[in-house]
A and B are shown apart, each in its own frame.
Chain A
């Protein structure tokens, strides 16, 4: 009987799940469609804002919208409306959003206050003004102010078809403008100076970009509220950045991340009866964390792997060079681990590990009496490395006027990345023979 209860509960849940995920309810369909489109538009516009290093402009601008919302409310009350006309509220929000953006630009341009201060003061003062006005509004018509609260904290669950349509239109607008001005946006994101020098109207392009951010913020107010809409403009774009270095790909990925976050957020909140906005943001944050770790281009895992690979290669090359120079000094009898340890700050296990790895690659072989020798192949590879190292040292001494006692460390870091072409150029510059002698004393003081 208990089992039957569990079964029916589980069955109920599965029903719920399918009902929400497959969008069987009209209401769910509206909400999911609305926030998914919002995520798309925000990801798209947010990409440009992120690359323009203006990610938090949307934060300041969205806070600056509060007095506009209340102003819209006052206007409605003044003309005898009900205080529920969304158009007036959002119109006021948009107007003050633009005003806030203009204030930011003006402060940056005409005072010596920096970017971050401009954002913070606009945010604080405008929001304070909004709170003061809200205080007035709350004492006017208690019941109708509830509509204002919905815009501050957002309430996706009560979205109407008109809201979804509004978002659809705004998203389509943002998409069209972004595609049409893609080249211009890309240019000022990456090289503002060049754009200026070529005579592009940078200020106007900037204004259009900020206008898009205001647009997304305004339509997002209704769904997720004025604080969390900022998250949708920042997080998907920041997550997308880990996957690619190409702007076009990044905008597409950011839009997708935004869409998925919106869809997941709306579904989960529909299932578990929690507020939609925060769930959407947390969904996006989860994608961000995954991207941070696993992003194909700049994710931690990829960078860690390439770092470890480089470190292994560097260590191996140091071993080969140490063996080569030991051979120069002491002849072909090979080197003991103790002798090698004097060249570098290797621990004994580390030195053994390195030697074993070198043996697997066929570069060293065990000689007599616990000594290690370079094989033929190892000798060739080590010779090449030592030669690169010394070429660079000679170049520094002859052309950069650096004292012979100071060149070793510098050459030590660069020897691993000298390409073929660079080596040939160095050969010409320092007129090198087959294998130059080291230009400084080498040996136990560190080689």
Chain B
């Protein structure tokens, strides 16, 4: 395993193509048109074949134009079948692109099979050999042609997206608003479709359709999980696309060492993008599965801690009233009453002890002064809520407790004051228990 200069070129080509795809892809993700990329990637086949048959050459420009035309035709046809034909949107897309793809296969079979318009090449790309083709001098460097093609496409995408940033943004998030602002949402739709089609085709030859399909959506999807701002999402998508290209090729270079055989870089790049998406799904700061689980756990622990404080306060109350009863709770009692497992018991009880709301006294947990203040406030919130719910919401007496039990955790001081004002600062709750000050 060694890293050759052409490995660097492969990464550069892959990164350029991936970024060029990821930018318009973000808008596909936002507009819920993610499958359009896959559809166009399949549907352009007849365009490529017809262009080839007409010009009898494998020159890039006619094929490029043919494919872009068919790409836009795909979008128009899908729109027409969906809206005029009243076919469900996914089915409309499916009907159109599979039919066009089948047509392309037959055309190729009839007219182009003799000249090896290689389907495998369209599908897998030829990233491995891309740096070995024509070279073009640029800025004193001998730059492989695919770098120029994909770099140019990236520049076009960046340019168009910058130019129509506001229009695309508004029409993606709020088509009605866009229309009322005088933005033609249809024009934006077909502009985006044209851009996607051009990007797909430009990247085809060097990186293969499969990488294109993955890179259109996966970086955008990952970025969508990491941010709520469109501008940040675009930048993140570009970063993820580049990272996928680098990681993918490193993976491909390492493959012979690990599995004993070479593999295909384009596939590995798609896999790398998938892994990055998985990381974003799990570890995204706000929408990630892990961070949401941690947030839920934290909330659960906080609620359980507050419940425990309330419980200890009520125990003290009843002990003071009756003049007898046990002091505090043993760990096992607390765990049973709050239905805590060992881990959550540790988080709840030791958490409370660490912030000195409770202390251990002869093996039993009792309130500290600070803990008692906190608990008093909670119990006050609870009983004020019970009073309020009875007065204003007309809940039956036996239904008050559960609602108050939930609301007390979300009640701050201001709301407590408001509740007291609304209920006329009562001294006792509906069950006749004293409301602590």
A binding-site residues for B, Cβ under 8 Å? 50, 53-56, 59, 107, 110-117, 119-121, 123-125, 127-136, 139-140, 153, 227-228, 230-231, 234-235, 237-238, 241-242, 274-275, 277-279, 281-282, 285, 288, 292, 298, 300
Contacts and interface: CB of A to CB of B under 8 A. Distances in A.
Given A136-B261, A227-B42, A274-B110, A234 B95 contact: yes
A148 to B, nearest CB: 12
Contacts of A127: 210, 213-214, 270
Contacts of A114: 32, 34
Nearest to A234: B94
A54 B124 CA distance: 27
Nearest to B273: A125
Contact of A133 (B32, B85, B267): B267
B402 to A, nearest CB: 23
A154 B33 CA distance: 28
A346 to B, nearest CB: 28
B374 interface: no
A128 B88 contact: no
B109 A278 contact: yes
A132 B217 CA distance: 19
A136 B263 contact: yes
A228 B95 CA distance: 11
Contact of B98 (A53, A117, A234, A300): A234
Contacts of B103: 278, 282
Given A227-B42, A292-B81, A128 B91 contact: no
A124 B210 contact: yes
B38 A123 contact: yes
A56 B87 CA distance: 13
Contact of A135 (B38, B93, B263): B263
Nearest to A285: B99
A238 B98 contact: no
Interface string B76-106: 0000010011111011111100110111011
A117 B95 contact: no
27 contacts: A59-B94, A107-B281, A110-B289, A113-B221, A113-B224, A117-B221, A121-B34, A121-B277, A123-B35, A123-B213, A124-B213, A128-B214, A129-B271, A131-B208, A131-B210, A134-B267, A135-B263, A135-B267, A136-B262, A234-B95, A235-B98, A235-B99, A238-B95, A277-B105, A278-B101, A282-B102, A285-B98
Interface string B1-44: 00000000000000000000000000001001111011000100
Nearest to B31: A116
Closest 4 pairs (CB-CB, A-B): A128-B270, A132-B267, A125-B274, A124-B214
A300 B81 CA distance: 11
A237 B211 CA distance: 30
B218 A56 contact: no
A228 B98 contact: yes
A235 B103 CA distance: 14
Nearest to A50: B91
Given A134-B267, A298-B86, A300-B85, A278 B38 contact: no
Nearest to B211: A128
B101 A237 contact: no
Contacts of A125: 214, 218, 270-271, 273-274, 277
Nearest to B88: A53
Interface string B284-309: 00010100000000000000000000
A111 B266 CA distance: 27
B102 A121 contact: no
Most buried by A among B94, B263, B289: B94
Interface in B326-373: none
Given A113-B221, A228-B105, 17 more contacts: A56-B94, A111-B225, A111-B287, A117-B217, A119-B34, A120-B37, A121-B217, A121-B221, A123-B38, A128-B273, A128-B274, A129-B267, A132-B252, A135-B124, A135-B267, A136-B261, A278-B103
Contacts of A274: 106, 109-110
A187 B430 CA distance: 47
A112 B210 CA distance: 25
Most buried by B among A119, A124, A125, A227: A124
Most buried by B among A114, A128, A129, A234: A128
Nearest to B213: A124
A300 B267 contact: no
- Interface residue tally on B, bucketed by range: 35 or more
Contact of B106 (A53, A234, A238, A278): A278
Given A56-B93, A116-B34, A124 B106 contact: no
Contacts of B266: 128, 131
B268 interface: yes
A131 B264 contact: yes
A55 B94 contact: yes
Nearest to B260: A136
B255 interface: yes
A131 B270 contact: yes
B106 A282 contact: yes
A128 B271 contact: yes
B262 A135 contact: yes
B155 interface: no
B114 interface: no
Interface in B191-226: 208, 210-211, 213-218, 221, 224-225
Most buried by B among A50, A121, A134, A139: A121
B25 to A, nearest CB: 9
B269 interface: yes
Contacts of A285: 95, 98-99, 102
A275 B106 contact: yes
Given A111-B287, A124-B218, A234 B91 contact: yes
A56 B88 CA distance: 11
Contact of B255 (A117, A136, A292): A136
Nearest to B264: A135
Nearest to A303: B86
Given A127-B213, A128-B269, A135-B262, A228 B102 contact: yes
Contacts of A50: 88, 91
B320 interface: no
A111 B85 contact: no
Contact of B94 (A123, A128, A230, A298): A230
A129 B271 CA distance: 6
B101 to A, nearest CB: 6
Given A121-B218, A230-B94, A234-B91, A132 B263 contact: yes
B129 interface: no
B414 interface: no
A55 to B, nearest CB: 4
A55 B92 CA distance: 9
